[in-house]
Structure 1
Amino acid sequence: MTSRRQFLFSFPAYALSAQYFAPRFHRKKPVPPPPTRVFIGTDTARGVSKGIYQADFNSRTGQLTVPVLAVDTARPSYLALSPLRNGRRSLYAVNAVPDPSATVTTFDLDQRTGILTRKSRVTSAGAGPAYVSVDSTGNCAFVANYVGGTIASYRIEPDGTLSKPVSTFNYREPRFGKHGPVPKRQDGPHPHSVVVSPDDRFLIVNDLGNDALSVFLIDTATGRLTPSDPLLTSVRAGSGPRHIAFHPNGRWVYLINELDSTIDHLLWTATHSLKHPQAFLVHTNATVKTIAAGFPADKNTAAEVMISPDGNFLYASNRGEDTLVVFSIQDDGSLKEIQRIGCGGRTPRHFTFDPTFDWILCGNQDSASITVFRRDQGNGKLAGPTQTIPVDSPLFTLFA
């Protein structure tokens, strides 16, 4: 039996022998992540950009290549991806033209080459589509038509294309509420986003025109929507609900309001009943401003909201103040501002995390650029912009 003293005296010799033989057992150095493909939807109505552009982003260095045209298509203001099937995915783009002929286009995405091939085009069931989403099963897709005041659901066919609209709802119906008090922006209903709940059972619609959120039950087999009971959650008059972000806990929902530049903290509740499923949102009366105290509210519109995957930080963008704002999420779900940083351009309509969550790409619509920011995952703060890349009128960025 080896005594403690004998072990301690023999340890240096053991350590030396381990050091001598260690090179045989050295692990291979980790391979840097390859460049990640980025698709950029642009505003073709301005006469410069032509459709969806493609660039490569290196998550190790934070470098974005200069975007090149991937495919021409009319005003692809919002993009969504289907889940991977047999090595291929579909990319969906709303064609946000402000008339009833607006469409949703399906592209086949070759995962190896990144080539987009147009496969089909279907009606968006309303003018000016602003948002498209897909459930995690890849069975259903949803569109919000901002100008037309409607939403639509679709079944995703085996080849990735969209069916004709399965369900459509006209938000001019009285059950969806009445328009808000801002005449220039709330002259009628304006559904701005259609977000699928984390369990794929419900759809939440933000209506900027009617200052309300509505909830629908999703039939994932058919794509059919059924209004939930209660249907509406009203928010402050004139706030203009735009987008929401679910916290990773599945219980907290953060609503960014475009017109009064605020973020509201809501609680999400859903029953587990298979026979009579219900879901609704409750306002916690916790609201924060996205703009600085001295900035004129009428000179800004809030745009995007996202939450880090660890649930500790929330990010928002301001068009007018032209900033990205970082909030820490407290134990009770309330928000505390920790940073306000210039976006490096004008009109940051959309931003997104890269797959490592070490970087944020921010599309600056009115300065024809995408700016790159490094993100500290420990404290949530941003540094940059570390790079500015030219691209005309970026509306949306999607990693694929």
Structure 2
Amino acid sequence: MKNYAFIQLMILTGTLWASAGKAASADLLQMLVGTYTTDSKSDGIYSLHFDQSSGKARIISSAKIGNPSFLRISKDARRIYSVSEYNDEKASANITGFNPGTGTFGTTVSIAASLTGKGAEDPCNIWSNDRFAVTANYTGGSLSVFAISGDKLDLRQHILFQKLRPSSTAHIHCALPTPDGKFLMVTDLGNDCIYRFTINPQADAGNDLPFLTDRRIVYNGPQGWGPRHFTFSKDGQFMYLINELGGTIVVLRYVNGYLLPIQSLMAEETPAHGSADIHLSPDGHYLYTSHRLKNDGIAIYKVNKATGLLTKKGYQQTARHPRNFAITPNGKYLLVASRDNNCIEIYRRNRHTGLLENTRQDIILPKPVCIQFVGL
């Protein structure tokens, strides 16, 4: 009888340990950081383990890639898509092998971001659905569309944008799909507009069909505002757009490929023409935007999920040049890539108020500018 009780106790203890192990594993994230390597000691892309329970991080490995200023991760987390942001022949799109279990990198394959390979593109953003990758090329005023075949990229389309006013120049900054997956929305910071392309589901690496077709403008913003980045609500009804030069947020209703502005409000605390990134909390109740150059920080907004409208709730000052930030999947932490202070600040997020508290557990890395998470 005693032996039976002991066995039962051991089984119970093992179950508790297993449950604790699963909980710990669920809280452990693989974290990838893109950096600027020009005039810095950075290797390129770094992998870290981040515990979204404690807010602590540990650097695991790095991959030597030039100026990987923006990253995306494949659905199976075994490939990293990145840009090399240069305005010469080094401008490229890259695929890097990745082991999500160990956090180590494989080989990198690169291809020029333009048809000529002569550069002057400054690719600053990349998106992929694992069949195609699309880079937004700021200086080139263009999109580059690459077919993906295994670990190789093939440039299929190089789409140029023209100036829409005598004094304007096309500066393409971001390209992301709509929630229904039918369209790709593209911000043109120089022309103050958003383009829409139809995504061709029949296109793939095995045929010559164009991936993007039917270009048209679906949003014209006020002159000089400079639309930069955007995000969609989880229900797909609303787009939230941050304007770099105007320092403003625009809320737009999304309906089957079309955008209708319903609210605009000032996001910057101090006019600086340096607004950068925008993200919703995982529960969709709060929106955050980053602002650089003066009074650097994160603006905080309460979201009315029924109407999509925003109410400003606060402003958290940060270290210098918060170009990019990310929120952990559990919503507990907000991490800010502060390029000019060579660190990633970790802020604890109050889920009820949306406000931020600096944990003082900075991750020290040279010129960090992009943060992505992968669940382990």
TM-score, shorter chain, exceeding 0.5: yes
Q: Which runs of 5+ in 1 are unaligned?
A: 1-20, 181-185, 271-278
Answer yes or no: is 1:260 the counterpart of 2:246: yes
Matches within 5 A, 1:65-144: 65=58, 67=59, 70-84=62-76, 89-125=78-114, 127-135=121-129, 138-144=130-136
CA distance in 1, matches of 2:231, 2:151: 26
Deviation at 1:322, TM superposition (A): 1.0
**Residue identity matched to 1:382:** L
CA distance in 2, matches of 1:229, 1:108: 33
CA distance in 1, matches of 2:365, 2:300: 25
**Residue identity matched to 1:42:** T
Deviation at 1:160, TM superposition (A): 4.0
Match of residue 195 from structure 2: 214
CA distance in 1, matches of 2:47, 2:242: 28
Cα pair 2:199 2:213 within 8 Å, conserved: no
State how many pairs are aligned: 349
Task: Report SS of the residue matched to 1:165.
Answer: strand
CA distance in 2, matches of 1:106, 1:227: 25
Q: Which runs of 5+ in 2 are unaligned?
A: 1-7, 205-209
Once the two structures are overlaid, the 10-residue window that deviates more, 251-260 or 34-43, is 34-43
**Residue identity matched to 2:176:** V
Answer yes or no: is 1:178 the counterpart of 2:165: yes
Match of residue 287 from structure 2: 314
Match of residue 397 from structure 1: 371
CA distance in 1, matches of 2:74, 2:201: 14
Answer yes or no: is 1:64 the counterpart of 2:57: yes
Report Cα offsets for 1:227-262 as digits up to 9, x if no partner: 447434210100001001001110100100000111
Cα pair 1:109 1:115 within 8 Å, conserved: yes
**Residue identity matched to 1:97:** Y
**Residues 72/336 of structure 1: CA separation in 2 closer, same or farther (3 Å cut):** same
Answer yes or no: is 1:280 the counterpart of 2:285: no
Root-mean-square deviation (CA), in Å?
Answer: 2.3
The one of 302, 306, 313 aligned to 1:338: 313
**Residues 152/76 of structure 1: CA separation in 2 closer, same or farther (3 Å cut):** same
CA distance in 1, matches of 2:215, 2:111: 30
Report Cα offsets for 1:273-302 as digits up to 9, x if no partner: xxxxxx222222x1111122xx2x1x3411
Deviation at 1:310, TM superposition (A): 2.0
Cα pair 1:216 1:231 within 8 Å, conserved: no
Report Cα offsets for 1:159-182 as digits up to 9, x if no partner: 2432x222221012x6xx3376xx
**Residue identity matched to 2:185:** I
Deviation at 1:68, TM superposition (A): 5.9
Answer yes or no: is 1:151 the counterpart of 2:152: no
CA distance in 2, matches of 1:194, 1:52: 21
Task: Report SS of the residue matched to 2:191.
Answer: coil
Report Cα offsets for 1:202-225 as digits up to 9, x if no partner: 111001111110000111332524
Task: Report SS of the residue matched to 1:366.
Answer: helix
Task: Report SS of the residue matched to 1:147.
Answer: coil
CA distance in 2, matches of 1:354, 1:326: 16
Deviation at 1:144, TM superposition (A): 0.4
Matches within 5 A, 1:34-73: 34=25, 35-65=28-58, 67=59, 70-73=62-65
Give the TM-score of the pair, scaled to structure 1. Answer: 0.81
CA distance in 1, matches of 2:314, 2:135: 33
Report Cα offsets for 1:61-81 as digits up to 9, x if no partner: 11122x465111110000001
**Residue identity matched to 2:73:** L
Deviation at 1:39, TM superposition (A): 1.4
CA distance in 2, matches of 1:326, 1:363: 17
CA distance in 2, matches of 1:350, 1:394: 8
CA distance in 2, matches of 1:154, 1:267: 30
Give the TM-score of the pair, scaled to structure 2. Answer: 0.86
**Residues 394/290 of structure 1: CA separation in 2 closer, same or farther (3 Å cut):** same
**Residue identity matched to 2:86:** V
**Residue identity matched to 1:289:** M
**Residues 22/110 of structure 1: CA separation in 2 closer, same or farther (3 Å cut):** closer
**Residues 226/91 of structure 1: CA separation in 2 closer, same or farther (3 Å cut):** closer
Task: Report SS of the residue matched to 1:333.
Answer: coil
Deviation at 1:55, TM superposition (A): 1.9
**Residue identity matched to 1:258:** E
CA distance in 2, matches of 1:214, 1:361: 30
**Residues 362/179 of structure 1: CA separation in 2 closer, same or farther (3 Å cut):** farther
